[in-house]
Structure 1
Amino acid sequence: MRDGFESRESWPFECLRCLYVWEEDYLVRHVTDDHGNEVEVWLSAGVTVQPPWSGMACPACGAYRLTSFPAHYLSRHPELTAAPDPAPLARAPVVPAGDAEPSMTAPVVRVPLPRRMLIALGVPVIAFAGYEFYRYVLAPVGHH
C-alpha cells in the first residue's frame, strides 16, 4: 500500500421496527495499492468492520431494517436523539480473577420468532400428525 489518507464519518441511523435513532462514528482509511486499486477500510473503535450500509443491526431491538440519514442530520435535529442509549442485547462474560468460571453480567435477550410463521408451519404439521395418528391407531382394524 502506497498512498492513503484517513477521514472520520458519522452515520446516523433509525430502526424501522422500534424507531430508535443513534449515530455510529467511523474512521475510514482510503488507500491505493501498487497496482492503482483504491480500497476503503472501515474502522469502528479501532476494529475493522463492514461498511455501514452492509448488515447493520439496531442496538435496541436487533432488527436489520434500518434507514440512514444524511451526514450531520442529527446535529440539526436534536429532538431525534433525546432517548438514552438502550441496554445492549447481550453482554460479554466477565471473567473473575483466578480460575473461576465466567459469569454473565446480564441474561441474553432472545428475539421472539414471528407468530404468523409459527402458526403457518405448525398447523399443517399438527393436522398431518393427527391424521396419521387417527389412521394407524384409532381407525378400525379392517379399514387399513
Structure 2
Amino acid sequence: MTDGFETRETWPFECLRCLHVWEEHFVVRHLTDVHGNEVEIWLSSGVAVPPPWSGACCPHCGAYHATSFPWGYLARHPELVAGPEPELVPGPAPAGVPAVAEPGRTSAPRTNLPGRLLIALGVPLALFVGYELYANAVAAAAHHR
C-alpha cells in the first residue's frame, strides 16, 4: 500500500427490535496500492471491523436488526438520544395507596416476539383448518344419508 489517509466517522443507529438509539465512532483508513486499487479499512477502538452498513449489533438487546441514520441526524435531533436512565428508588407508599411493583419488573414473564408471532398466525390458521375439517365432515355425513 502506498498512499493513504484516515478519516473519523460517527454513525448513528437505531435498533428495530428495542428502538434503542446509539452512535458508533469509526476510523476509516483509505489506502491505495501500487496498482491504483482503493481500499477502506474500518476500525473501531483500533480493531478492524466490518463497515457499519454490513449489519450493526444493538448494544442494548443484541439484535442485528439495526438501521443507520444519515450523518449528523442525531445532532439535529438530540431528543432521540436519551441519557442514562435515572435510578428509581421506591419510597414508602402513602396510607391507603396499594403498593406498586418495582419499575421494570412484571409479574408474568413476557413472551418473546417469535412466540407471539407464532400465536398470532397459528391460532387463526388452526381455527380455519378446524372449521374446514368440520364443514367437510358434516357435508360428507349429509351426503351419505
- Segments of structure 2 that go 5 or more residues without pairing to the other structure are 86-111, 122-145
The list of structure 1 runs, each at least 4 consecutive aligned residues, that deviate by more than 4 angstroms after superposition, is: none
TM-fit CA distance, 1:83: 3.9
Give % identity: 68
For the pair 1:23 / 2:19, whether they are aligned, the reply is no
**SS, match of residue 54 in structure 2:** coil
Query: What TM-score do you get using the length of structure 1 for normalisation?
Result: 0.59
Q: What residue in structure 2 maps to residue 60 of structure 1?
A: 60
- 2:44 & 2:84 partners in 1: Cα distance? 21
Match of 1:71 in 2: 71
- In the TM superposition, residue 72 of structure 1 has moved relative to its aligned partner by 1.3
Contact 2:10 2:25 in 1 (8 A): yes
Q: Name the count of aligned residue pairs.
A: 95
Q: CA RMSD in A?
A: 2.3
Paired residues of 2:55 and 2:66 also in contact (CA < 8 A) = no
Structure 1 residues without counterparts, runs of 5 or longer: 86-111, 121-144
Deviation at 1:84, TM superposition (A): 2.6
CA 1:83–1:16: 2 relative to 1, 3 Å: farther
Change (3 A) 1:20 1:113: closer
- Structure (1 or 2) with the larger CA radius of gyration: 2
Which SS does the other structure have where 1:71 is aligned?
Answer: coil
